[in-house]
């Protein structure tokens, strides 16, 4: 589904990804771990199409298509979803209105008819339960004045609505207490399916107790330096990242 080959990316003069390779197949959950500054969030951003980064080499294909050639909105319409580490506050646009616009734009891209108000509300009600999100929150300006937990739940709610093929969770655990973490993780787990792949970017093993990955990759200095089964996360939790750094040199 997703095939990343020798990906290199920089911001300004600073090289961040230096030849990253990763294969993700439908149904799989991949965890990307690594110390601060390793390039985890850069990877998530480059996949979603953030323009601050320059891709200087390598390739990324998604369902056989050249992902790097697509605008962020095209990537979303092709089925990529990024749950933001810091969801953006958008004054004056309600979550409901925002999502309705997004869904219908994606449907348009796919040649589908727009959802009418009734269909949309029905879908919304159904998905709200997944992350235990309140209707009143959704009619407020998107993320404006939301608590950290509410913002992250809203991200997962949006993911549930948009039903992506590939979900990328960028440090979704940051800033969450254990209860909020559990709600968010439950939501993600309910969305797991044989067709959907997930990339979980995280610094800590904690989240992976709840979202259990099939593969764990350690990112260091812009490359994946170690991959393994879910137990690798526990090992990292126990031993820290220093031994990886030592091995990588």
| Residue ranges binding another protein (CB under 8 A) | 48-51, 71-73, 75-77, 81-82, 84, 87-93, 98-99, 101-103, 105-106, 109, 141, 158, 162
Nearer to another protein, 42 or 205 (CB): 42
Of the candidates 78, 61, 29, 46, the residue with the CA atom closest to the CA atom of residue 191: 29
Nearer to another protein, 81 or 146 (CB): 81
Nearer to another protein, 154 or 205 (CB): 154
CA torsion 109→113→118→122, rounded to 10°? -50
- What's the min distance (Å) between Cβ of 242 and another protein? 34
- What's the min distance (Å) between Cβ of 88 and another protein? 4
- What's the min distance (Å) between Cβ of 220 and another protein? 26
Nearer to another protein, 106 or 236 (CB): 106
Nearer to another protein, 12 or 194 (CB): 12
Nearer to another protein, 8 or 154 (CB): 154
Nearer to another protein, 49 or 213 (CB): 49
Supply the DSSP string of the chain, one letter for each residue.
-EEEEEEEEEETTEEEEEEEEEEE-TT-EEEEE--TTSSHHHHHHHHHT-TTSEEEEEEEEETTEEGGGS-HHHHHHHTEEEE-SSPPPEEEEEHHHHHHHHHHHHHHHTTPPPPPHHHHHHHHHHHHGGGT--HHHHTSEETTT--HHHHHHHHHHHHHHH--SEEEEESTTTT--HHHHHHHHHHHHHT-BTTBEEEEE-SSSGGGGTS--SEEEEEETTEEEEEE-THHHHHHHHH-SHHHHHHH-
State the Cα–Cα distance between residues 137 and 117, nearest whole angstrom.
18
- What's the min distance (Å) between Cβ of 35 and another protein? 25
- What's the min distance (Å) between Cβ of 90 and another protein? 5
- What's the min distance (Å) between Cβ of 239 and another protein? 35
- What's the min distance (Å) between Cβ of 186 and another protein? 22
């Amino acid at each position: 589904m997703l095939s990343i080959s020798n990906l290199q990316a920089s911001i300004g003069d600073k090289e961040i990804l230096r030849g990253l390779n990763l294969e993700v197949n439908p149904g799989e959950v991949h965890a990307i771990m690594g110390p601060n500054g390793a390039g985890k969030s850069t990877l998530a951003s480059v996949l979603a199409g953030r323009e601050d980064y320059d891709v200087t080499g390598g390739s990324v294909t998604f369902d056989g298509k050249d992902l790097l050639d697509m605008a962020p909105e095209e990537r979303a319409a092709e089925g990529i979803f990024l749950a933001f580490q810091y969801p953006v506050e958008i004054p004056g646009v309600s979550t409901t209105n925002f999502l309705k616009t997004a869904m219908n734009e994606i449907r348009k891209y796919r040649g589908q008819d727009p959802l009418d108000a009734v269909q949309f509300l029905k879908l919304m009600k159904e998905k709200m339960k997944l992350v235990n999100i309140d209707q009143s929150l959704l009619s407020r300006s998107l993320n404006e004045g939301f608590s950290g937990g509410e913002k992250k739940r809203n991200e997962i709610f949006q993911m549930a609505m948009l039903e992506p093929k590939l979900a990328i969770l960028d440090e979704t655990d940051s800033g969450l207490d254990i209860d909020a973490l559990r709600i968010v993780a439950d939501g993600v787990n309910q969305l797991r399916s044989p067709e959907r792949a997930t990339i979980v970017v995280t610094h800590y093993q904690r989240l992976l107790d709840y979202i259990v990955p099939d593969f764990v990759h350690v990112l260091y200095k812009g490359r994946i330096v170690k991959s393994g089964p879910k137990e690798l996360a526990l090992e990292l939790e126990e031993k820290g990242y220093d031994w990886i750094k030592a091995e990588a040199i």
